Structure 1
Amino acid sequence: MTLQDIAARLGSLLRAGGLSVSTAESLTGGMLGATITGTPGASDYYRGGAITYATDSKATVLSVAEVTLASDGPVSPATAEQMARGVRELFGSSLGVSTTGVAGPTGQDGKPVGLVYIGVSDTERTVSHEFRSSGSTRDEVRRQAVERALSLLVDHLDRPEKS
């Protein structure tokens, strides 16, 4: 299944449920939002996105707690969760999804290349998922992170009680 196939499936589920989504991206740098909006009719359910590549922008734009960034760092489950919740609230969407991680070529703050956290937030709960990319280049890590984020959203909508 291609990225666009997964994005189209996500769009169908969002449209059927009368739901909307927004994206908060760090390592994917807009690739997730671009993939979602690559589906015709995405304006029915995509509210917007924030690319918060710099650590301080996660706090100022998405309301990630300074204490979380100081204690856990920008690549952590708590940061991913707060990013997802922050973007959902920022855009008033039903769902928020976030990506934060290390695309390489070297590790960051003791975190290895390929470590990614994806946050998913709806009005009832916010969760994070750890993902270890097998990609050997920055582009592969970023693409795999987008694929995983889309798949997690589809799974969340298909089986919300298991996310």
Structure 2
Amino acid sequence: MSEFPPPALRQAAEDVASLLRERKETISVAETAAGGLVSAALLSTPGASRIYKGGLTLYTLDSRIAFAGWTQANIDNYDGPTPKLVEGLASHVRVTLKSNYTVGESGTAGPTASGKAKNRQPGYVALAVVGEKGALSKDLDTGLGSDRQANMVAFAIEALKLVKEYISTNESQGGKI
């Protein structure tokens, strides 16, 4: 078997898992284009059962309606992944799974674009972390073009980096994001 998770993803997951174990806190995951890689990376760390509350791969419209609380208004207003949309997915999953934090991810892995807008181009990802003290979100382009698998791994790494940033910022600012 080839190495899993890839080294950079493994390191990002270990960094987050270590912080969560230290703090005796939990995480859940709401991911789309990363296809479960965020969850898989966290679950590959020792002691995962103490920190991981669960995860959903909300790849299809049906799964978002069934598990993420999407309504007809969400469907009617959907115009591709955005930080606000991802924050909504993460908020819903956090409440449902009762975790300290939920990381959300939605992007366009490729190899083709799903529209003309920036957020519909391969390599685009929107990320959010939601916790008791608020949310932190961002979007970015991986720069990896149409390489679907590389984008999926990059999306997962960036999602975990955002969790680490959220926890560190939350701690250094006395709980205010």
Confirm or deny a common fold (TM above 0.5).
yes
| Residue pair 1:100, 1:117 contacting (<8 A) in 2 also | yes
Select the residue among 126, 145, 152 that pairs with 1:142: 152
Q: Runs of 4+ in structure 1 displaced over 4 angstroms?
A: none
Instruction: Give 1:65 shift.
Output: 4.4
Select the residue among 10, 15, 29 that pairs with 2:16: 10
Tell me the distance in 1 between the aligned counterparts of 2:135 and 2:79: 18
Q: Secondary structure at the match of 1:43?
A: helix
Q: Is residue 152 of structure 1 aligned with residue 162 of structure 2?
A: yes
TM norm structure 1: 0.91
Question: Larger deviation: 19-28 or 54-63?
Answer: 54-63
Tell me the distance in 1 between the aligned counterparts of 2:105 and 2:74: 16
Identity between Structure 1 and Structure 2 (%): 27
Q: Secondary structure at the match of 2:33?
A: coil
TM norm structure 2: 0.85
* Structure 1 segments unaligned to the other structure (5+ residues): none
| Residue pair 1:104, 1:114 contacting (<8 A) in 2 also | yes
Tell me the distance in 2 between the aligned counterparts of 1:129 and 1:85: 15
Instruction: Give 1:132 shift.
Output: 0.7
| Residue pair 1:102, 1:113 contacting (<8 A) in 2 also | yes
* Corresponding residue of 1:108: 114
Tell me the distance in 1 between the aligned counterparts of 2:115 and 2:88: 19
Alignment CA distance shift 1:67-1:78 (3 Å): farther
| Residue pair 2:108, 2:122 contacting (<8 A) in 1 also | yes
Tell me the distance in 2 between the aligned counterparts of 1:15 and 1:43: 10
Alignment CA distance shift 1:112-1:62 (3 Å): same
Instruction: Give 1:73 shift.
Output: 2.9
| Residue pair 2:128, 2:162 contacting (<8 A) in 1 also | no
* Corresponding residue of 1:117: 126
- What's the RMSD between the two structures over aligned residues? 1.7
* Corresponding residue of 1:95: 101
Give the paired residue count. 163
| Residue pair 1:81, 1:98 contacting (<8 A) in 2 also | yes
Tell me the distance in 1 between the aligned counterparts of 2:18 and 2:128: 21
Query: What amino acid is aligned across from residue 33 of structure 2 in structure 1?
Result: L
Alignment CA distance shift 1:24-1:42 (3 Å): same
Between structure 1 and structure 2, the one with the greater Rg is: 2
